Amino acid sequence: MAIVLVTGANRGLGFEFVRQYARDGWRVLACCRQPAGPQALTEIVAQSDGDVTTHQVDVTDFVRIEGLAHELKDAAIDVLINCAGTAGKYTIDEGAMAYQAFGKFDGEEWMQVYRVNVMGPMKMSEAFIEQVVASDQKKIITLTSELGSIGFNSSGNFYPYRASKAAVNAIMKSMSIDLAEKGVIAIPLHPGWVSTDMGGKNAPVGVGESVTGMRKVIDGLTMAKSGRYLTYEGKEMPW
Ligand X SMILES: NC(=O)c1ccc[n+]([C@@H]2O[C@H](COP(=O)([O-])OP(=O)(O)OC[C@H]3O[C@@H](n4cnc5c(N)ncnc54)[C@H](OP(=O)(O)O)[C@@H]3O)[C@@H](O)[C@H]2O)c1
Q: Count of residues binding ligand X (CB under 6 A)?
A: 29
Q: Is 100 in the site for ligand X (CB under 6 A)?
A: no
Residue among 2, 33, 51, 152 that touches ligand X (CB under 6 A): 33
How far apart, in whole angstroms, are the C-alpha atoms of residue 22 and residue 133?
22
Q: Is 217 in the site for ligand X (CB under 6 A)?
A: no
Smaller CB separation from ligand X, 154 or 222: 154
Ranges of beta strands (E only) in 71-220 are: 79-82, 139-143, 185-190
Please report whether residue 199 would count as binding ligand X according to CB under 6 A. yes
Return all residues near 135 (Cβ < 8 A) that are at least 6 apart.
2, 3, 76, 77, 78
Q: How far is the CB of 116 from ligand X (least distance, A)?
A: 5
* Alpha-carbon gap, residue 202 to 195, rounded angstroms: 7
Residue with Cβ nearer ligand X (103 or 107) = 107
Q: DSSP label at 194?
A: B
DSSP 8-state symbol, 237: P
Nearest in space to 96 (alpha carbons), one of 120, 112, 81: 112
The one among 20, 54, 86, 176 contacting ligand X by CB under 6 A: 86
Residues that bind ligand X in the complex, under the rule CB under 6 A: 7-8, 10-14, 32-34, 58-60, 83-86, 116, 143, 145, 190-191, 193-194, 196-199, 203
